[in-house]
């Protein structure tokens, strides 16, 4: 069955001149068939670079919107229209406007996990891979409004010492990883390196050895001589970590860290997306132009090398 689906996807990809981009949290079989798999920064760069006419985005809405903002001439398809990001939905454009009115002297930096409307109201966009570099590139005397992830924000404050106004958003998937999960796994695997995503809560990050974006985790594991890693992020990344490092052991901090939105994408839905050209993600031109400025500045700002 799966073989027939794969053949069908291949045939439809040729027919539509399509490319499949997948985030590192996607189900393993989706990561395996993608033309490019990566973190939010890598995916934004790929979406801007590809010369395919159609991008099938195996991820969540804000990622497909980012592709549509960067490549308006391409058709961007999200195979499941309900694949959203609860963290991105934790701040609206109206709430950001109110915050800006209260701190009119501040620059606004939004995490890429945000709506196109929020990006349109931001000066800069960033991902977890380049947040520190983006903030360090801003004038020292300026205060920074950072939305929506308070935990990524806290991580950047610690690395840059800058003055932030934080929004209390968070990723529900990373919030299920607890301090006790890390303590338990460390007791069981005392030699393992703990890699945590900056979206994790502060107690989890304090117990971790490396704070990395998903792309940086993959790069770090490939270079490391260690053979055991505890992974404090969405468990989907363990599929590719194992594939790229068959000798090493990767232990989920908790098996509960599963993003239900990322897991909405299936092979069948990719076939339907390409057959019916659904679901097209577009951004109104006025918003797109403003949001693109914030994303362009991020892509230009020394994207962090893993």
Which of ligand SF4, ligand 13P, none does residue 40 bind to, with CB < 5 to 8 Å depending on kind? ligand 13P
Strands (E), 190-269: 193-196, 210-211, 228-232, 249-252
Q: Residue 219 or residue 258: which is nearer to ligand SF4 going by CB?
A: 258
The least CB distance from residue 152 to ligand SF4, in Å, is 10
DSSP label of 20: E
Q: Residue 30 or residue 171: which is nearer to ligand 13P going by CB?
A: 171
127 lies in the site for ligand 13P, by CB under 6 A: yes
The least CB distance from residue 144 to ligand 13P, in Å, is 20
Would you give the binding string for ligand 13P spanning residues 172-201, x where CB under 6 A is met? -------------------------x-x--
CB 44 within 8 A of CB 303: no
CB 56 within 8 A of CB 273: yes
The least CB distance from residue 128 to ligand SF4, in Å, is 10
Among 45-53, 121-129, 139-147, 258-266, which window interacts with ligand SF4 (CB under 6 A)?
A: 258-266
Which of ligand 13P, ligand SF4, none does residue 261 bind to, with CB < 5 to 8 Å depending on kind? ligand SF4
Closest Cα partner for 39 from 262, 250, 242?
262
State yes or no: cis peptide before 279, omega within 30 of 0.
Answer: yes
Q: Helix, strand, coil shares of the chain as percentages rounded to 5?
A: 45, 15, 35
160 lies in the site for ligand 13P, by CB under 6 A: no
Among 126-134, 150-158, 177-185, 271-279, which window interacts with ligand 13P (CB under 6 A)?
A: 126-134
CB 192 within 8 A of CB 226: yes
Provide the CA 254 distance to its chain's centre, in angstroms. Answer: 19
Among 33, 43, 58, 60, binds ligand SF4 (CB under 6 A): 60
Among 173, 208, 235, 240, binds ligand SF4 (CB under 6 A): 173
Q: Residue 128 or residue 160: which is nearer to ligand 13P going by CB?
A: 128
213 lies in the site for ligand 13P, by CB under 6 A: yes
Separation between Cα atoms, residue 172 and residue 199, nearest integer Å: 10
> How many Cα atoms occupy the beta-carbon half-sphere of 225 within 13 Å?
0
> How many Cα atoms occupy the beta-carbon half-sphere of 280 within 13 Å?
13
CB 214 within 8 A of CB 39: yes
26 lies in the site for ligand 13P, by CB under 6 A: no
Q: Residue 148 or residue 220: which is nearer to ligand SF4 going by CB?
A: 148
Which of ligand 13P, ligand SF4, none does residue 128 bind to, with CB < 5 to 8 Å depending on kind? ligand 13P
Provide the CA 135 distance to its chain's centre, in angstroms. Answer: 18
Separation between Cα atoms, residue 199 and residue 259, nearest integer Å: 13
Question: Which positions lie near ligand SF4, rule CB under 6 A?
Answer: 25, 60, 85-87, 113, 171-173, 234, 259, 261-262
């Amino acid at each position: 069955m799966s073989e027939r689906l794969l053949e069908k996807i291949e045939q439809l990809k040729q027919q539509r001149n399509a490319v499949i981009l997948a985030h590192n949290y996607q189900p393993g079989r989706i990561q395996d068939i993608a033309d490019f798999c990566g973190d939010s920064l890598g995916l934004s760069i790929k979406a801007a670079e590809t010369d395919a006419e159609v991008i099938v985005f195996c991820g969540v809405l804000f990622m497909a919107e980012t592709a549509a903002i960067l490549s308006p001439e391409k058709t961007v398809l999200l195979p499941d229209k309900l694949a959203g990001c609860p963290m991105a939905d934790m701040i609206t454009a109206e709430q950001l406007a109110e915050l800006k009115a209260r701190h009119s002297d501040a620059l606004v930096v939004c995490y890429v996990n945000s709506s196109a409307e929020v990006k349109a109201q931001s000066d800069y966009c960033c991902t977890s891979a380049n947040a520190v570099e983006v903030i360090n590139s801003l004038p020292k005397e300026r205060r920074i409004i950072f939305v929506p992830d308070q935990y990524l924000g806290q991580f950047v404050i610690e690395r840059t010492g800058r003055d932030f106004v934080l929004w209390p958003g968070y990723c529900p998937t990373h919030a299920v990883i607890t301090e006790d999960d890390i303590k338990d796994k460390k007791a069981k695997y005392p030699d393992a390196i703990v890699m945590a995503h900056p979206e994790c809560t502060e107690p989890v990050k304090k117990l971790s050895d490396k704070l990395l974006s998903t792309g940086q985790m993959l790069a770090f594991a490939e270079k490391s001589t260690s053979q055991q890693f505890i992974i404090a992020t969405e468990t989907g990344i363990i599929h590719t970590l194992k594939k790229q490092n068959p000798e090493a052991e990767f232990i989920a901090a908790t098996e509960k860290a599963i993003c239900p939105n990322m897991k909405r994408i299936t092979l069948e839905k990719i076939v339907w997306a390409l057959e019916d050209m659904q679901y097209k993600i577009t951004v109104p031109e006025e918003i797109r132009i403003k949001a693109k400025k914030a994303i362009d500045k991020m892509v230009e700002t020394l994207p962090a090398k893993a």
